Amino acid sequence: MDNLDFVSPEIFISLSIMFLLILGVFKKNSSNIIHNLSVGFLFITVVLILNNPFNENTKLFGESYIIDYLSSFMKILTILGGAFVLLISSRYLKLLKIFQMEYPILILCSILGMMVMISSNDLMVFYVGLELQSLALYVLASFNRDQLKSSEAGLKYFVLSALSSGLLLYGCSLIYGFSGSTNFNIIADTMSSSQYGTTFGIVFVLVGLAFKISAVPFHMWAPDVYEGSPTSVTLFFAIVPKVAALTVFIRFLYVPFINMIDQWQTILIFLSIASMIFGAVAAIGQTNLKRLVAYSSISHIGYALAGLSVGTNEGIQSSIVYISIYLIMNLGLFSCMFMMKRNDEYYETIDDLSGLSKNHPLLSLSFLIILFSLAGIPPLAGFFAKFYVFKSVIEQSMYFLAIVGLLSTVIAAFYYLRIIKIIYFDEEKEKYDTDHGVWLKISLTFSTLLILFYFIFPSKLVEMASRINII
Amino acid sequence: MNFPILSSLILLPSIGALFLMFAKEKSNETSNAIKYVALFASFVNFLISIYLWYLFDESTSSFQFIEEKEWLRGFVNYKVGIDGISILFIILTTLITPLCVISVNNTVTVRLRDFLIAILVMESVMIGVFCSLDLVVFYLFFEAGLIPMFLIIGIWGGTRRVYSAFKFFLYTLLGSVLMLVAIISIYWITGTTDIIQLYELRIDTKYQNLLWLAFFSSFAVKTPMWPVHTWLPDAHVEAPTAGSVLLAAILLKMAGYGFIRFSLGLFPIASEVFTPLVYVLSLIAIVYTSLVALMQEDMKKLIAYSSVAHMGFVTLGIFTITQQGIEGSIIQMISHGLVSAALFLCVGVVYDRMHSRLIKTYGGLVSVMPKYSILFMFFTLAALGLPGTSGFVGEFLILMGVFKDNFLVAVIASLGVILSAAYMLWLYRRVVFGKLINKDLLKISDLNNSENFILWCLAIPVLFFGFYPEPLINTIEISIKDLIEMYNFNLNMNMIEVENNG
């Protein structure tokens, strides 16, 4: 009998989902309680994860489920991201009149799916986790169901995502056919020489995964879905599933197929360069902040993939550092967006920011810091994220990737500067409300300070990441 | 010496800025208090830097006041220190900043607090650039300056401020990212980014050319060299007076400093290869931008173009790799820092009164602003390098160095001296002398106390170092001598290696 202690976080979160569902059915007007309870449950899950021995490589259930430092780290990142999404979005949901008890439960479901994905060491387990999180996300995207755009976003996401899941599953079956197993470790053992069939399988799985993290050319859904979904769901989309999918990327490429790096490296470099450039160029013309965030997240994923394409532990670590800093920056950016509220109505085009700095100096300062950080200007956190990635890229003499990546940061800087210009240089408009929730203020302050003062302790995060050794 | 004097120089302005963050800008009293806090922080910094110069040991070329602290673990250390080359730039920075703070009295009316915060942060960053002894730390400071400068131009600038701010930011960023690639490459080639260690390790010859070009792309934009100088006139014209002063006096010097410290110090063989390129670009800059300056109708633009020409002299002097040439370049940079700052302030003075930078608005100022005319005259003459001003010392030494190296280049460069006299004197004649046609000019007043004070603060060192440049030369002499020795040693080593292989 396997030691179930190791999966106690997953078990706990499943039980809490069931409990909350029952509570929601039997108790009227329970959305507030469920919302708060689910945040509490998420934090308990974090404690349970921390309670597990950290450095051991424990494989459970016929080696199909793995608990190691990478999985614990990424799970904590996922859960904290999810918890902050819940914490800062309650007022937004109330004002949009979609503050329902299903919302936190769906988020919990999707987080459970991601935890399974992160820990999977088997194609089947991975697929089950992926589908669990995706199904919850379809519903979340169309959560504001009276709005045409939201329903459209849900439907669009569902159709395209189902297609990509199909491709992914086809790839899995090819890999199974050529290796005789779905377990990552066993596949690794049988992959002595490369076979074309396996390469095809890898490509199909990569396509599916690239879709989930919206890497170019599989990004088409992202702008529409980001724009159509309620902002709190957009925030969730922008940060949490990416962390999980990136972990799967790492595990899938580096455990079974590390010996075939010459086969998939080119694909990853292409995905990375295409995402960086396309994300940067396409964002220039946007007028809606959420669409802009979609394109900016596409280009940021490009940088994370650049780290993954290197094929060394340093590359993986830099990519994990990147996604962690990216998560904090986006949390801050969306906290700012949640503050763009006037008379209980939210504004989301870039022009609504016009002259913000005159009426709201602190909010604009946070915006400024976060945007410069997203653009990768030193000494803010975003610079260090890029710095680590390019450090590992250049180590392997991949100069082309490094130069293209850094040049695309210049293009990207343009549209971040455009927002700053609108905030700081343009004429002011009416004031926004200032009665924000405590958690919204906390998350904005926290993320801004973290970004601003990251340069004082730049080694902490890297040290944590440097304990991740996959190869 | 355990007291971290350099780090306190870097930190002090930022701490002042932090204090200002908490100030509320409401009444006159608080805005005065804000000014005093900023002035206090920057002035104390100036005193510390003078004390630093006093402590500075001129008899050695090794780095002094070194502080080292673990930063990016196992990779980059936070390391600062100074030698003869950097200390003068630090003093220039700490001298110019308080003057900028005083000058806001007359020029900045809106969001004073934010403006002073930006200036103080800028000072921290600039001092950081000049004393960092690690490539990554250097890059960090070098780039961080973009943020406050972007805001200074964009928020307090003129009518086309947005265009200029964007152009400034994107040009500089584009130049710098290649330098980042080069810095990381150096780390992987040599295993360190510590400048002192890199001076001892010799970077492999086959990498040097590309690395040199990557650094060059960044410094050339910042200098600015022809043909990537076009951001400078725009940025200068649109920036508020204090912004122009910082930009001309200090920001441009970062690149000259970078050429000496990195291009010559780290890549001697490549520097030798690319010297003709730098010569050609510098000569074009000197002659072409001087001609362009002649034709300008906007006073600030004229001075901006003259800055490009003066920086052309600087790059020319640096790449002669002679004692006189490099000494001259450094003195020219210090002198240009003082003089161009003063000229921009002079333009600012009349701009505040008339709200026009066009030369044709003025004429006959001598009768209404006698004090102003005297000081403006002095700085005009200093800009064209009249003997007795610091500008002469720099230009003379540079030309001496160039003559040693290449006669033809020196002849063409000397043309620039004549041209600079032409455009500066013509500017002065059109603005100050002639008939007073514009009746509005009759209403304006002469320099007020603070303007007078600022301009004299700049005039005294210009005059002093013009007659007695010894203190400057003594400070830099040994550092430059050793730099050149190291440079020639590396070249010889390379020659020997090539012979052995061939």
Encode B287-342 in three state secondary structure: HHHHHHHHCCCEHHHHHHHHHHHHHHHHHHHHCCCCHHHHHHHHHHHHHHHHHHHH
Cβ within 8 Å of B, A 186-215: none
Q: CA A55, CA B98: separation in Å to the nearest integer?
A: 55
Asked if B410 and B320 touch (Cβ cutoff 8 Å), the reply is no
Write the single-letter amino acid at A355: G
List chain A residues with CB under 8 Å of B147.
372, 377
Q: Closest Cα partner for B92 from B259, B325, B333, B384?
A: B333
Give the Cα-Cα-Cα angle B400, B461, B429 (nearest 5 degrees). 80
Q: CA B390, CA A410: separation in Å to the nearest integer?
A: 39
The continuous run of DSSP H or E covering A65 comes out as strand A65-67
* Pick from A425-429, B22-26, B300-304: least confident: B22-26
Cβ within 8 Å of B, A 326-355: none
Asked if B88 and B96 touch (Cβ cutoff 8 Å), the reply is no
**3-class DSSP state of B321:** coil
Q: CA B423, CA A116: separation in Å to the nearest integer?
A: 74
Q: CA A107, CA B485: separation in Å to the nearest integer?
A: 67
Asked if A101 and A74 touch (Cβ cutoff 8 Å), the reply is no
Going by C-beta distance under 8 Å and a sequence separation of 6 or more, which residues neighbour residue A394?
Answer: A402, B181, B184, B185, B188
Nearest by CB: B143 against A378, A395, A407: A378
Q: CA A392, CA B188: separation in Å to the nearest integer?
A: 10
List chain B residues with CB under 8 Å of A378.
139-140, 143-144
Q: CA A390, CA A409: separation in Å to the nearest integer?
A: 12
Å between B278 CA and nearest CA of chain A: 24
Structure confidence by residue, pLDDT tens digits, A63-77: 888 888 889 899 999
User: Which residue in this structure is represented by tokens 């210090």?
Assistant: B334
Q: Which residue of B has its CA nearest to A394?
A: B185
pLDDT band for position A2 (cuts 50, 70, 90): low
B36 pLDDT more than 70? yes
> What local confidence, expressed as pLDDT, does residue B191 receive?
85
Asked if A78 and A437 touch (Cβ cutoff 8 Å), the reply is no
Burial degree of B200 (CB within 10 A; 0-12, 13-18, 19+): exposed
Q: Closest Cα partner for B243 from B140, B164, B137?
A: B164
Q: What are phi and psi of B27, to 5 degrees?
A: -100, 180
Nearest by CB: A425 against B147, B154, B187: B154
Q: What are phi and psi of A449, to 5 degrees?
A: -65, -40
Å between A428 CA and nearest CA of chain B: 13
Beta bridge partners of B132: B80
Q: What's the sign of the alpha-carbon dihedral B121, B126, B130, B134?
A: positive
Nearest by CB: A378 against B140, B150, B169: B140
pTM of the model: 0.92
Mean pLDDT of the A95-106 span? 87
Locate B382 and state its tokens.
């200093």
Record: contact B162-A387, CB cut-off 8 A: no
List chain B residues with CB under 8 Å of A402.
181, 184
> What local confidence, expressed as pLDDT, does residue A15 receive?
94
B31 pLDDT more than 80? no
Q: CA A459, CA B71: separation in Å to the nearest integer?
A: 7
Structure confidence by residue, pLDDT tens digits, A3-20: 788 888 899 999 999 999
Nearest by CB: A410 against B72, B154, B177: B177
Nearest by CB: A394 against B71, B143, B188: B188
Structure confidence by residue, pLDDT tens digits, B289-299: 999 988 888 88
> What local confidence, expressed as pLDDT, does residue A193 receive?
61
Cα B294 to Cα B288, B338, B430: the distances in Å are: 10, 22, 12
Record: contact B140-A383, CB cut-off 8 A: yes
Mean pLDDT of the A428-436 span? 84
What is the percentage of chain A residues whose pLDDT exceeds 70? 99
Q: CA B374, CA B396: separation in Å to the nearest integer?
A: 25
Q: Which residue of A has its CA nearest to B151?
A: A424
Structure confidence by residue, pLDDT tens digits, B404-431: 888 888 888 888 888 888 998 988 888 8
Record: contact A395-B180, CB cut-off 8 A: no
Record: contact A378-B72, CB cut-off 8 A: no
Asked if A145 and A152 touch (Cβ cutoff 8 Å), the reply is no
The continuous run of DSSP H or E covering A113 comes out as helix A102-119
Going by C-beta distance under 8 Å and a sequence separation of 6 or more, which residues neighbour residue A26?
Answer: none
Beta bridge partners of B298: B358
Mean pLDDT of the B388-411 span? 88
Q: CA B399, CA B413: separation in Å to the nearest integer?
A: 8
Q: Is the peptide bond before A378 cis (omega within 30 degrees of 0)?
A: no
B1 pLDDT more than 60? no
3-state SS record for A114-132: HHHHHHECEHHHHHHHHHH
Record: contact B181-A417, CB cut-off 8 A: no
Alpha helix stretches (DSSP H) within B56-134: 84-107, 112-131
Asked if A261 and A278 touch (Cβ cutoff 8 Å), the reply is no
A352 pLDDT more than 90? no
**3-class DSSP state of A146:** coil
A230 pLDDT more than 80? yes
Q: Is A463 on the interface with B (CB under 8 A)?
A: yes
> What local confidence, expressed as pLDDT, does residue A257 receive?
85
Nearest by CB: A424 against B70, B72, B151: B151
Record: contact B184-A391, CB cut-off 8 A: yes
Record: contact B170-A414, CB cut-off 8 A: yes
Write the single-letter amino acid at B445: S
> What local confidence, expressed as pLDDT, does residue A319 receive?
93
Q: Which residue of A has its CA nearest to B142?
A: A378
pLDDT band for position B26 (cuts 50, 70, 90): low
Q: CA B23, CA A260: separation in Å to the nearest integer?
A: 60
Q: Is the peptide bond before B268 cis (omega within 30 degrees of 0)?
A: no
Nearest by CB: A402 against B73, B143, B181: B181
Q: Is A391 on the interface with B (CB under 8 A)?
A: yes
Q: CA A325, CA B415: separation in Å to the nearest integer?
A: 54
Residues of chain B that touch chain A, judged by Cβ-Cβ distance less than 8 Å: 70-73, 114, 136, 139-140, 143-144, 146-147, 150-151, 154-155, 161-162, 165-166, 169-170, 173-174, 177-178, 180-181, 184-185, 187-188
Q: CA B472, CA B369: separation in Å to the nearest integer?
A: 34
Going by C-beta distance under 8 Å and a sequence separation of 6 or more, which residues neighbour residue A235?
Answer: A85, A88, A89, A330, A331, A334
Mean pLDDT of the A31-58 span? 86
3-state SS record for B123-162: HHHHHHHHHECEHHHHHHHHHHCHHHHHHHHHHHCCCCHH
List chain A residues with CB under 8 Å of B73.
459, 462-463
State the average pLDDT for chain B. 87
A1 pLDDT more than 60? no
| DSSP of B208-259 | HHHHHHHHHHHHHHHTTPTTS-THHHHHHHHS-HHHHHHIIIIIHHHHHHHI
CB-hemisphere CA count at 13 Å for B178? 16
Nearest by CB: A406 against B136, B166, B177: B177
Q: Closest Cα partner for A286 from A348, A213, A210?
A: A348
Q: CA A113, CA A107: separation in Å to the nearest integer?
A: 10
A254 pLDDT more than 60? yes
**3-class DSSP state of A58:** strand
Q: CA A111, CA A17: separation in Å to the nearest integer?
A: 11
pLDDT band for position A447 (cuts 50, 70, 90): very high
- A294-314 burial, b if ≥16 CB within 10 A, otherwise e? bbbbbbbbbbbbbbbbbbbbb
Question: Do β-strands B64-72 and A345-346 pair in parallel, antiparallel, or remain unpaired?
Answer: unpaired
Nearest by CB: B184 against A383, A394, A462: A394
Å between A410 CA and nearest CA of chain B: 6
- Chain A with chain B: Cβ pairs closer than 8 A: 80
Locate B213 and state its tokens.
């070009």
Q: Closest Cα partner for A468 from A76, A48, A5?
A: A76
Å between B32 CA and nearest CA of chain A: 20
Record: contact A403-B181, CB cut-off 8 A: yes
Locate A369 and state its tokens.
């810091």
Write the single-letter amino acid at B325: G
Structure confidence by residue, pLDDT tens digits, B85-120: 888 899 999 999 998 888 887 677 778 888 888 999
Q: CA B461, CA B341: separation in Å to the nearest integer?
A: 13
Q: Which residue of A has its CA nearest to B74?
A: A459
CB-hemisphere CA count at 13 Å for A231? 30
State the average pLDDT for chain A. 89
Mutate to test the interface with B, among A359, A366, A410 (most CBs of B within 10 A): A410
Record: contact A395-B147, CB cut-off 8 A: no
Structure confidence by residue, pLDDT tens digits, B295-342: 888 888 899 999 999 999 999 999 988 888 999 999 999 999 999 999
Mean pLDDT of the B449-470 span? 88
Beta bridge partners of A122: A183
CB atoms within 10 A of CB B349: 26
Structure confidence by residue, pLDDT tens digits, A393-419: 988 888 899 989 988 999 999 989 999
pLDDT band for position B8 (cuts 50, 70, 90): confident
Q: Closest Cα partner for A154 from A133, A136, A140?
A: A140
User: Which residue in this structure is represented by tokens 């701009």?
Assistant: B351
Å between B250 CA and nearest CA of chain A: 19
Residue A19 vs residue A342, higher pLDDT: A19
Residue B312 is classified by DSSP as H
State the Cα torsion A412-A417-A419-A420 to the nearest 10°.
150
Mean pLDDT of the A37-57 span? 86
Nearest by CB: A463 against B73, B144, B165: B73
Nearest by CB: A394 against B165, B174, B185: B185
Å between B238 CA and nearest CA of chain A: 13
